[in-house]
Amino acid sequence: MRALSRWFLAVALGVTAGAMSSGGAQAGVETPHVSQGTSISWRTCGERLECARVPVPLDWDRPRGRTISLAVIRHLASRPDERIGSLFVNPGGPGQSGVGLVKGSGNDLDAWGDGRFDIVSWDPRGTNDSTPVRCFRTQRAAAAFFKGVTVPTTSRASEEYSRKVAAEMAKRCGRVSGWLLPHVTTADTVRDLDHLRGLVGDPKVTYVGFSYGTFLGQTYANLYPDRVRAMMLDGIVNPVEYSRGAEARIANGVSASDEVFDQFLRTCRRAGPRDCALAGGDRTPEQRMRALFKRVRQEPIPAPALNPKGSLTEGDLLVSQFEPMRTPATWPGDAADLRAALRGDASALAAGARPLLTPEAWEGVATSTAIQCADAGARRSLREWPSVIGRFKRVSRMQGPVNGWWLWAPCAEWPVKGQDAYRGPWNASTSAPILLIGTRYDPNTPYASAVRSQRLLGNAVLLTHDGYGHVSYQDPSACVERARVAYLVDLVTPAPGTVCKADQRPFGLGLG
């Protein structure tokens, strides 16, 4: 699954029984008739690939009103004579491109279903090549706004600046896309998914969701419990905390990130200096990291090889660890980069952080924020940022403050509420068992969330992946792969309590 892992390596952010919102979607609702068509007009867009645009209502409660457009793609089954149906996939985010996923990794996903499914995905409403949320009228305006915007450090001045940026971004999103923002909830996207399911002719959905895509899947399961053929969710979002509000959503999402970083350091220590550059000598990896954080708080570390030249701030250091903690195969290189920064050259770490600090990345944050704020807004105002950001920092020193500024601060000033947000209950018994996959040391979707969802859902089996990283295939396991194919093709679930070890431990420590 290397191609699939490479595609997800480009993902910048992951995510982290309530009452229904007023006027929200109701469990067991019927998808309204859509007059725009009853089939999809596919066109060839690559080898075994077909693409289309599908109109859907802006507001599913007004099916004959204004429409928006979804970008849809499918990878045709490699064994068409034995085709079972369509396998819908959502890569997470929220806001990541399903079209991009299938274009980049269609063959890998085809193997997940043993070649017997058309792999279907789409860019969810409000994102990418579907009708998008825009916060600026031109790319030039966006680039000008985000130019120079950085991750705040511990200084009060930088945090005040970040507060102003968040408030202004929220205002501009409302000004440009106020007509769309109330209709980008996950429940709206679930109704889009169910409409697509009907258009491809499947009586029940076969679905795979990663990270935020597991929240989408759990929402579908609770709205349409009788329409599930198979649903595999990997990297489980706690639906109760996600839908409770921005504060609970972010705190839960980052709650395991420090533990994963500590595991990185412990595993490094066990590997020793031959395999981990932070190990060996008169200091432990933990001591070296404390020294690095102390140094970068005092002053930025030069990054002379960066083009253009620059330096590494404390915020940059935190951001530089987002992707490595999601991807254990990169741990040896990350350890070497951290050791180089200790020696005074932070070029590699700064280069790793830079792609997440571009105007394009900030626009991606705005899209993700639009969906999350529509699902459940902030409960506290932006004026209360010192206590809110302080709480996030206490939950996670590694990811709490950054995610707070990226995802909570704009939500605290968000100009509209989601019109049809679904906030529970989350305990539906589906027509077929759901397969949940939880990784022991996942920095973005804690293993505890997988346990919670298994207990909530009325018909779900939890497969524990004894490994590291965000979603199971980042730390490959032949055991997980066998279970995945058996479930999607033959509808066979693993025995309750099944644990699959990763094939290899980080830093080359041998078989799991």
- CATH code of 219's domain: 3.40.50.1820
Residue given tokens 């022991």 in the structure block: 440
Identify whether 285 is preceded by a cis peptide bond (ω within 30 of 0).
no
Contact 364, 12 (CB under 8 A): yes
Q: Which of 442, 408, 419 is nearest to 233 (CA)?
A: 442
Residue 16 binned pLDDT confidence (cut-offs 50, 70, 90): very low
Residue 493 lies in a domain: yes
pLDDT score at 23: 33
Q: pLDDT value at position 37?
A: 60
- At 11 the pLDDT is 41
Cα 172 from Cα 181, distance rounded (Å): 12
Nearest residue to 330 via CA among 463, 474, 155: 474
pLDDT digits (tens, 9 = 90+) for 62-104: 999 999 999 999 999 999 999 999 999 999 999 999 999 999 9
Domain-located, residue 453? yes
The residues, ordered by sequence, that sit 6+ positions from 158 with a Cβ below 8 Å of its Cβ are: 150, 152, 315
Q: Of 106-110, 163-167, 228-232, which gets the smallest average pLDDT?
A: 163-167
Q: What is the pTM of this model?
A: 0.92
Q: Is residue 448 part of a domain?
A: yes
Answer yes or no: is 307 within a domain.
Answer: no
Q: pLDDT confidence of 263, banded at 50, 70, 90?
A: very high
Bridge partners (DSSP) of residue 235 are: none
User: Domain for residue 255, yes or no?
Assistant: no
Does residue 163 sit within a domain?
A: no
Q: Which domain holds residue 246?
A: 2-129+182-250+423-508
Tens-digit pLDDT profile for residues 295-329: 999 999 999 999 888 999 999 999 999 999 999 99
At 424, the pLDDT band (50, 70, 90 cuts) reads: very high
Residue 349 lies in a domain: no
Go through 155-186 and write b for each residue having 16 or more CB atoms within 10 A of its CB, e for each that does not. Answer: eeebbeebbebbeebbebbbebbeebbbbbbb
Residue 242 lies in a domain: yes
In the chain, how many domains are there? 1
3-state secondary structure of 276: coil
Q: What is the pLDDT of residue 154?
A: 62
Residue 312: helix, strand or coil by DSSP? strand
Extract the tokens encoding 120.
Answer: 């279907």
Percent of the chain with pLDDT over 70: 91
